[in-house]
């Protein structure tokens, strides 16, 4: 799994390189936490489904 990912940050308003801060396996699949180094905004993905605002 990658340790960084390009994502449109809702807080910064531009595409940022998010870093993986944690990962664990749950009964639902793999849970991964991502964080923006510029503003500290973070979100969670479980099996590729993210909590980012659409």
Give pLDDT, residue 54. 64
Q: Which CATH architecture has domain 4-50?
A: Single Sheet (2.20)
Give pLDDT, residue 42. 94
Mean pLDDT by 10 residues, the chain (54 residues): 89 93 93 94 93 79
pTM above 0.75, yes or no: yes
Give pLDDT, residue 52. 87
Provide the token pair at 22: 């944690």
Q: Where are the domains of the chain?
A: 4-50
């Amino acid at each position: 799994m990658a340790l960084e990912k390009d994502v449109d940050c809702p807080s910064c308003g531009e595409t940022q390189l998010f870093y993986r801060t944690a990962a664990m396996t749950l009964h639902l699949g793999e849970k991964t936490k991502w964080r923006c180094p510029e503003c500290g905004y973070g979100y969670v993905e479980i099996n590729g489904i993210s909590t980012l605002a659409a």
